[in-house]
């Protein structure tokens, strides 16, 4: 058995025959402590060979002076210290019960350079801060990637209080300072970090205690074999070569954040799961609307490697911001992201880019359908084309019936920015999304195939090319009475044309339709070479297809081609060896039988044959094609949907639809006008929202663009008082977005770019912003909301 000596006598010497051969009791105890402590606690040395060597040298009765010299050298290189030797430094209450072990740990860690402080199989209460100096370590008794003792597995939430390994019970006295500060190259290993005052029976996010950061680590630090629960933000590592191995636990905010590292970081065997304490079911759904709920957050770091990674009940599994170029990059391999909202939220301007390999995603853990799915991609800097490579990944939807806060995501892959992302897909299976597998890619480059159920969809968008067919996507209705799209002509028969809110065009036959009739457009080839015709349909019928005629320059000879639509909705034809000044007719045929219909996404005639699925190049203007009106006047026909736009390129005017009744619903856009509004919303009674204050576009304008928003809270807050400001944004498609911001002290808050981005919805116009206010206590605090932007 190890007997702990009196600390005051540690440096006394033991009399021996020769003074020069004296050895201090500290050195002697350290020599025996390496083997003795290892035997007593199950082994603290990483190297079994080192332990065996020391044991042999210390206990071998035939040991030579050279052996003892080796032992002395090793004991000075690896200094193992039991924190229980320093128990007298711990803080006690008036009854003599220890309430804070932090002072004892700080004395132990600073007692020797590079001290390795061993902990017993018991609980250590912490209210203060522990600082690990450079090269030191705290090592507990936990071994193996374990969840807890088998006998406690069925104890449910009581597992948090079961003592089975080295356990820290954390209750910070200072709610702004991290509990552990790890200086360079320090280590925490084999411990559990629990917050006993974080109730596992909470039923609202407002009940969750936002404890300060648990661990603040610097470059070269290691976190090994650690369990945790109850933290809000758990670990932040700043600097290079951070290593986390075998982490098991759950945070209510961000579990792991790595920031500003110029060398590789390694995260391995990461298991972020509340089952570390088996909480009641109600706790599992608290984070669906919490933007802080992030498994791993990587910000400006070179070469992050994440492997064997699992999250469950996190709104965002991996968030990435790599906008500084250079070697910023991340690789994620072998993952299972269960019941998550947005699996990967990526903002990057990086040459090495992103690699995502071998994993499973179950999405739906979000209260916002616009925030969910596999990928959310943005490159806001746009100085580098950022590659994002995805291979061997399956994406499914959670069972939405499990909880009311779960939401089907709009898209599996969402492009936030319109350019400078190169997305490469291989063996991606995805289904369960609401609007589509991918949102419009814009100028982003996409190449690969997505499998969904029994279908496969080629999503190649290698390089945008000019479409020689006018009005070939986001179709604009012509001015004729037959509703045929602008620049197209009907060759015969009777059909009905529908213009859909998503920009597609639907053709439906009224009677039997000859194979050579439909809508047609002709164009002249300006260069010799190869060309490709591609028409993409959302739901082709087996009788629909194309009729393509290529005529010589004198129109004395024509060659006809009749390609059909494939199972993925593509109808394509390659024209090789075309000469300059030849003409091409592209005719879309909806079907031969009365009632046949086809929905066209786009029609293209482009030079070259090196791509297959090709999304049209956006003009940068709202979602309708540019075209020229006859005279500087609004369109004479009724809009198809609110927010639809017509662009008169000859007169440089744009018209936006405010209704769908008649031509009078077109409003000419008048550029922009500055908007600067200051609102002071009043509280309602008894913690309810007061009267609404609304900002609308200036006269003659149809929408609002917000650039900056600032909230000021002025006055004296009472104990526990919280004041809240709510924003309600209304859009031209009759939808709305709501956001709340709260404060518990006077001050000012600027909404972040991410907050303002939440007010922007694809394909619709922000038409008003309304603010409300409420307070948990009456009177005393005024709120001022400043909105800065433009009327458009």
Q: What is the DSSP string of 630-697?
A: SSSS--SS--SSTT-EEEETTTTEEEEES-SSSGGGEEE----EEEEEEE-PPB-SSS-B---EEE-P
Whole-number Å distance between alpha carbons of 61 and 49: 20
With CA atoms as reference, report the closest residue to 29 among 51, 53, 10: 10
In this prediction, residue 723 has a pLDDT band, given cuts at 50, 70 and 90, of very high
- 215 or 381: which leads in pLDDT: 215
Whole-number Å distance between alpha carbons of 617 and 769: 32
- 500 or 237: which leads in pLDDT: 237
| pLDDT at residue 485 greater than cutoff 70 | yes
Same domain, 99 and 241: yes
Same domain, 90 and 68: no
Same domain, 595 and 500: yes
pLDDT digits (tens, 9 = 90+) for 532-547: 898 988 878 888 889 9
Domain containing 744: what range?
A: 673-791
pLDDT digits (tens, 9 = 90+) for 424-443: 999 999 988 888 888 888 77
Contact of 534 with 606, CB cutoff 8 Å: yes
With CA atoms as reference, report the closest residue to 198 among 266, 296, 307, 276: 276
- Compute the average pLDDT of residues 637-651: 61
The CATH number linked to 710 is 2.60.120
Same domain, 99 and 188: yes
Q: Which pLDDT does position 30 carry in this prediction? A: 45
Neighbours of 576 (CB within 10 A): 9
Q: Which pLDDT does position 3 carry in this prediction? A: 37
User: Is residue 480 one of the residues assigned to a domain?
Assistant: no
Q: Which pLDDT does position 644 carry in this prediction? A: 64
In this prediction, residue 26 has a pLDDT band, given cuts at 50, 70 and 90, of very low
- Compute the average pLDDT of residues 298-305: 95
* 17-21, 215-219, 674-678: least confident range: 17-21
Domain count, the chain: 6
Output the average pLDDT for the chain.
Answer: 82
The CATH number linked to 221 is 2.160.20
- Compute the average pLDDT of residues 64-92: 73
Same domain, 330 and 432: yes
Q: Which pLDDT does position 645 carry in this prediction? A: 63
Same domain, 436 and 543: no
Q: Write down which residue in 286, 318, 353 finishes a domain.
A: 286
- Global confidence as pTM: 0.56
| pLDDT at residue 15 greater than cutoff 60 | no
| pLDDT at residue 457 greater than cutoff 70 | no
User: Is residue 471 one of the residues assigned to a domain?
Assistant: no
User: Is residue 51 one of the residues assigned to a domain?
Assistant: yes
Same domain, 236 and 153: yes
Same domain, 657 and 763: no
Q: Which pLDDT does position 89 carry in this prediction? A: 97
- Compute the average pLDDT of residues 588-607: 88
In this prediction, residue 235 has a pLDDT band, given cuts at 50, 70 and 90, of very high
- In what helix (H) or strand (E) does residue 34 lie, and over which residues does it extend? helix 25-41
User: Is residue 2 one of the residues assigned to a domain?
Assistant: no
Same domain, 630 and 732: no
* 232-246, 256-270, 420-434, 488-502: least confident range: 488-502
pLDDT digits (tens, 9 = 90+) for 650-663: 555 667 777 777 77
Q: Which pLDDT does position 558 carry in this prediction? A: 86
Q: Write down which residue in 62, 77, 92 finishes a domain.
A: 77
- Compute the average pLDDT of residues 732-736: 88
Whole-number Å distance between alpha carbons of 362 and 99: 43
Longest dimension (CA), the chain: 121
Q: How much of the chain exceeds pLDDT 70, in percent? A: 80
| pLDDT at residue 20 greater than cutoff 60 | no
pLDDT digits (tens, 9 = 90+) for 98-157: 999 999 999 999 999 999 999 999 999 999 999 999 999 999 999 887 765 433 445 556
User: Is residue 583 one of the residues assigned to a domain?
Assistant: yes
Same domain, 688 and 648: no
* 21 secondary structure, DSSP code: G
User: Is residue 377 one of the residues assigned to a domain?
Assistant: yes
* 485 secondary structure, DSSP code: B
* 25-39, 464-478, 524-538: least confident range: 25-39
User: Is residue 498 one of the residues assigned to a domain?
Assistant: yes
User: Is residue 639 one of the residues assigned to a domain?
Assistant: yes
* 340-349, 455-464, 764-773: least confident range: 455-464
Helix crossing, 65-77 with 48-59: angle to 10°?
Answer: 140
Whole-number Å distance between alpha carbons of 493 and 298: 60
* 25-39, 74-88, 510-524, 711-725: least confident range: 25-39
Same domain, 328 and 440: yes
Q: How much of the chain exceeds pLDDT 90, in percent? A: 47
Same domain, 108 and 214: yes
Q: What value, to the nearest 5°, has the Cα angle with vertex 775 and ends 231 and 207?
A: 25
- Compute the average pLDDT of residues 665-682: 79
With CA atoms as reference, report the closest residue to 38 among 57, 54, 25, 27: 54
Write out the DSSP string of 94-140: TTS-EEE-HHHHHHHHHSSTTEEEE--SSEEEESS-EEE-TT-EEE-
Q: Write down which residue in 668, 694, 728 finishes a domain.
A: 668
């Amino acid at each position: 058995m190890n007997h702990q000596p009196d600390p005051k006598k540690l440096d006394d010497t033991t009399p021996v025959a020769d003074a020069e051969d004296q050895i201090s009791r500290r050195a002697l105890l350290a020599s025996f402590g390496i083997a003795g402590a290892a035997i007593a606690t199950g082994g603290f040395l990483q190297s079994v060979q080192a332990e065996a060597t020391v044991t042999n040298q210390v206990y071998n009765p035939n040991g030579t002076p050279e052996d003892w010299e080796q032992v002395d050298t090793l004991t000075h290189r690896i200094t193992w210290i039991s924190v229980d030797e320093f128990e007298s430094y711990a803080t006690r209450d008036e009854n003599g019960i220890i309430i804070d072990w932090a002072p004892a740990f700080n004395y132990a860690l600073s007692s020797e350079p590079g001290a390795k402080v061993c902990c017993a199989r018991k609980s250590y209460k912490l209210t203060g801060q522990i600082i690990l100096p450079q090269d030191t370590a705290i090592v507990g008794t936990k071994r193996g990637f374990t969840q807890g003792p088998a006998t406690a597995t069925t104890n449910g939430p009581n597992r948090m209080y079961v003592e089975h390994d080295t356990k820290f019970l954390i209750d910070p006295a200072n709610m702004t300072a991290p509990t552990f500060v790890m200086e360079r190259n320090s280590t925490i290993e084999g411990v559990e970090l629990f917050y006993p005052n974080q109730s596992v029976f909470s039923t609202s996010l407002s009940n969750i205690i936002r404890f300060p950061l648990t661990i603040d680590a610097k470059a070269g630090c290691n976190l090994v074999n650690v369990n945790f629960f109850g933290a809000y933000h758990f670990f932040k590592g700043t600097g290079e070569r951070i290593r986390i191995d075998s982490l098991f636990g759950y945070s209510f905010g961000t579990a792991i954040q790595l920031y500003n590292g110029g060398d590789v970081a390694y995260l391995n065997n990461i298991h972020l799961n509340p089952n570390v304490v088996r909480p009641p079911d109600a706790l599992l759904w608290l984070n669906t609307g919490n933007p802080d709920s992030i498994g791993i957050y990587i910000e400006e770091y070179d070469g992050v490697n994440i492997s064997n990674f699992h999250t469950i009940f996190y709104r965002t599994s991996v968030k990435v911001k790599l906008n500084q170029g250079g070697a910023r990059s991340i690789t994620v391999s072998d993952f299972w992201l269960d019941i998550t909202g947005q699996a990967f939220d990526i903002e990057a301007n990086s040459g090495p880019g992103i690699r995502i390999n071998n994993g499973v995603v179950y999405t739906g853990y979000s209260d916002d359908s616009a925030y969910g799915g596999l990928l959310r991609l943005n490159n806001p800097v746009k100085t580098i084309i950022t590659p994002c490579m995805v291979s061997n990944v399956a994406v499914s939807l959670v069972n939405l019936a499990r909880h009311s806060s779960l939401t089907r995501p709009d898209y599996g892959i969402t492009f936030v920015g319109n350019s400078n992302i190169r997305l490469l897909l291989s063996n991606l299976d995805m289904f369960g999304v609401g609007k589509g597998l991918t949102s419009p890619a814009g100028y982003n480059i996409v190449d690969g195939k997505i499998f969904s159920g029994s279908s496969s969809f080629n999503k190649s968008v290698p390089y945008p090319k000019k479409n020689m067919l006018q009005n070939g996507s986001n179709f604009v209705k012509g001015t004729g009475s037959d509703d045929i799209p602008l620049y197209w002509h009907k060759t015969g028969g009777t059909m009905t044309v529908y213009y859909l809110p998503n920009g597609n065009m639907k053709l439906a036959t009224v009677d039997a339709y000859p194979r050579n009739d439909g809508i047609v457009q002709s164009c002249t080839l300006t260069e010799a070479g190869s060309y490709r015709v591609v028409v993409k349909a959302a739901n082709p019928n087996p009788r629909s297809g194309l009729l393509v005629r290529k005529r010589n320059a004198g129109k004395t000879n024509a060659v006809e081609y009749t390609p059909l639509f494939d199972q993925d909705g593509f109808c394509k034809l390659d024209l090789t060896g075309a000469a300059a000044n030849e003409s091409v007719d592209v005719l879309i045929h909806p079907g031969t039988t009365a009632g046949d219909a086809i929905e066209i996404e786009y029609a293209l005639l482009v030079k070259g044959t090196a791509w297959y699925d090709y999304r049209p190049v956006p003009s940068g203007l709202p979602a309708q094609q540019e075209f020229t009106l006859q005279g500087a006047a609004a369109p004479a026909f009724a809009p198809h949907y609110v927010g639809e736009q017509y662009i008169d390129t000859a007169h440089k005017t744009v018209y936006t639809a405010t209704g769908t009744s008649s031509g009078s619903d077109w409003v000419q856009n008048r550029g922009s006008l500055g908007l600067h509004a200051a609102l002071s919303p009043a509280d309602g009674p008894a913690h309810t929202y007061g009267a609404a204050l609304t900002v609308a576009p200036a006269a003659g304008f149809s929408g609002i663009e917000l650039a900056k928003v600032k909230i000021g809270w002025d006055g004296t807050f009472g104990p526990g008082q919280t004041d809240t400001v709510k924003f309600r944004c209304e859009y031209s498609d009759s939808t709305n977005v709501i956001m709340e911001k709260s404060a518990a002290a006077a001050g000012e808050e600027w909404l972040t770019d991410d907050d303002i981005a939440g007010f922007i919805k694809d394909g619709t116009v922000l038409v008003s912003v309304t603010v409300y206010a409420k307070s948990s206590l009456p009177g005393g605090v005024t709120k001022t909301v400043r909105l800065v932007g433009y009327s458009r």
